[in-house]
């Protein structure tokens, strides 16, 4: 079974549909939804959903770290709230989410593909764009992300730290991901606070040498 971890600010209109699709999938054991708004009403009617009301924007890293600790299952899917896919991939990948490997992320063209082709797991030594829009990882390969790095570069951290441990990271090639890239960040792009966080996160990437 897989624990799905999502942080949201409800900027994607399709999220409820995504949650319902995940809820009905036999490989999904639970959905941990971290609600980073001041919302006070919990979603009902989605059986596998644990709707965690944070009451404020705790950002991405805190939600992901908390989700990795809270999860009931060892196999994790870290999913952006503005992306969805053909969920049969959960059945295909489940056996590969093991403590022996690092992170399985998406190929750089995952958003641009018109449709999926012949799937393969391609060993990669450096992270490329779109890798972190959906990541599969075993809890034993989760290295807690510094929460001073709030919104960006979490995939860099997990990728590099697992590589340093001698674990192989993989990109799922020829697999179509639906949705957008960083919808919430794009909407908030004119927000001064978010811009400052981006600057800080990129400096931390340099500081931690996440390349």
Other CB atoms within 10 A of residue 74 CB? 17
Residue 182 — very low, low, confident or very high, per pLDDT cuts 50/70/90?
Answer: low
Cα–Cα distance measured from residue 82 to residue 80, given in angstroms and rounded to the nearest whole number: 5
Q: Would you state the pLDDT for residue 109? A: 92
- Domain 2-207, CATH homologous superfamily name and number: Spore Coat Polysaccharide Biosynthesis Protein SpsA; Chain A (3.90.550.10)
The pLDDT assigned to 186 comes to 62
What average pLDDT is seen over the chain?
Answer: 94
pLDDT for residue 84? 97
Segment (H or E) for 155: helix 154-164
CB 208 within 8 A of CB 140: no
Query: pTM, whole model, 2 decimals?
Result: 0.94
Distance separating alpha carbons of residues 121 and 104, to the nearest angstrom: 8
DSSP sequence for 90-121: HHHHGGG--TTS-EEEE-TTTTT-SS--S-EE
- What is the arithmetic mean of pLDDT over 117-143? 95
User: With contact defined as beta carbons under 8 Å apart, do 124 and 155 qualify?
Assistant: no
pLDDT exceeds 60 at position 187: no
Model confidence at 75: pLDDT above 80: yes
CB distance 161 to 145 below 8 Å: no
pLDDT at 194 over 90: no
Looking at residue 192, its pLDDT comes to 77
pLDDT score of 181: 77
Residues 6+ apart with CB under 8 A from 136: 75, 76, 77, 78, 93, 96, 97, 103, 104, 105
Read off the pLDDT of residues 6-65 as tens digits, 9 standing for 90 and up.
Answer: 999 999 999 999 999 999 999 999 999 999 999 999 999 999 999 999 999 999 999 999
The band of 191, judged by pLDDT with boundaries at 50, 70 and 90, is confident
Does residue 185 register a pLDDT over 90?
Answer: no
């Amino acid at each position: 079974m897989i624990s799905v971890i999502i942080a949201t600010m409800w900027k994607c209109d399709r999220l409820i549909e995504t949650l319902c699709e995940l809820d009905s999938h036999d490989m999904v054991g639970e959905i941990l939804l971290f609600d980073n708004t001041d919302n006070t009403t919990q979603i009902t009617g989605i059986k596998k959903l644990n709707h965690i009301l944070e009451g404020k924007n705790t950002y991405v890293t805190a939600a992901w770290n908390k989700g990795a600790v809270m999860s009931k299952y060892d196999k994790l899917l870290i999913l952006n709230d503005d992306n969805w896919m053909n969920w049969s991939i959960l059945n295909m990948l489940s056996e590969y989410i093991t403590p022996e490997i690092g992170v399985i992320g998406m190929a750089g063209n995952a958003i641009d593909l018109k449709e999926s082709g012949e799937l393969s797991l391609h060993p990669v030594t450096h992270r490329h764009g779109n890798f972190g829009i959906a990541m599969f990882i075993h809890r034993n390969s989760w290295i807690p992300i510094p929460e001073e790095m709030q919104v960006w570069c979490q995939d860099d951290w997990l990728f590099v730290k697992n590589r340093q441990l001698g674990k192989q990271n993989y990109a799922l090639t020829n697999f179509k991901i639906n949705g957008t890239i960083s919808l919430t960040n794009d909407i908030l792009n004119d927000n001064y606070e978010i811009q400052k966080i981006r600057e800080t996160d990129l400096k931390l990437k340099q500081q931690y040498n996440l390349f």
